[in-house]
Amino acid sequence: MTEKLVEIKDLEISFGEGKKKFVAVKNANFFINKGETFSLVGESGSGKTTIGRAIIGLNETSGGDILYNGKRINGKKTKAEHNELISKIQMIFQDPAASLNERATVDYIISEGLYNFNLFKDEEDRKKKVTDMMTEVGLLAEHLTRYPHEFSGGQRQRIGIARALVMDPEFVIADEPISALDVSVRAQVLNLLKKIQKEKGLTYLFVAHDLSVVRFISDRIAVIHKGVIVEVAETEELFRNPIHPYTRSLLSAVPIPDPILERQKELIVYDPSQHDYSTDEPEMVEITTGHFVWGNKAEMAEYRKKLN
């Protein structure tokens, strides 16, 4: 039986107050099982990164619950609780150039978390942990004395991965870790993440805007649009039976390698104005086993007809 590691319940995240208040995420509900890769997919500004940052504590929440191993982790925490959370949850950031301190050596960048939380016995133990992690991500021990600007984009991202994983976390939030990389390097980084996950039993939240990328790495996928999660399903189920019109529009935008088929395919444009929620409130409904869709009663009846 699968065990839930992270659970999001009726989550709301807002910025500002009064008339300037902006609700970035609303009514978010999903869970992540231990050992799986759960992907959160949507266009820029949809709120996917905002949710990831809220889980790790970088964004405050204005409603709902974030549970980690059954314990609520959003809201006020003691220093000990905060430190325990950081040691268990790490984040790989989107831009490998901006997220690394250009004035620090790679040795210090990877060791910073070890220093802050005293996660080594002595200097020899620290060096061994850092060197082992460098080897794990495909870099050399001699790279430790260099600075980030001396590396390629793919190598910098590997440094960012090493910085997160040297803390020996249980849960890793990967915020579009390949979007800033060349296509030729993306597969290398994805394969590296899968390899390390298998070896260490890690759980991933993988944030992305490209459904074709997450299909390769994900066990389950959630699709988010303007702060609302509109569909959640197992990866192959989502690709076989996309139900929500926004999911279908994202899938229609995925390039086809065959140029003839690519020219013939029909793009689906999602129009939110077609949804009338003035009298019939929407909710997340399990339309088939493990397949959840956001909609009102009228839409659910239509979605079920298409499935049958």
CATH of the domain at 196: 3.40.50.300
Adjacent-strand bridge partners of 125: none
What is the residue range of 41's domain? 4-307
**pTM for the full predicted model:** 0.90
Average pLDDT over residues 93-116: 89
The pLDDT assigned to 269 comes to: 83
Task: Give how many domains the chain has, as a whole number.
Answer: 1
pLDDT in tens, 231-274: 999 999 999 999 999 999 998 888 777 788 778 777 888 888 78
The pLDDT assigned to 187 comes to: 84
Cα angle 194, 199, 205 (rounded to 5 degrees) comes to 45
Report the distance separating Cα 34 and Cα 204, nearest Å: 9
Report the distance separating Cα 45 and Cα 222, nearest Å: 15
Strands 203-208 and 171-175 come out as parallel
Burial of 67 by CB count in 10 Å (0-12 exposed, 13-18 middle, 19+ buried)?
middle
Average pLDDT in the chain: 90
- DSSP type of residue 99: T
pLDDT in tens, 109-151: 999 999 988 889 999 999 999 999 999 888 998 999 999 999 9
**Amino acid identity, residue 135?**
T
pLDDT in tens, 171-223: 999 998 887 777 778 888 888 899 999 999 999 999 998 888 888 899 999 99
Confidence of residue 1 (pLDDT cuts 50, 70, 90): low
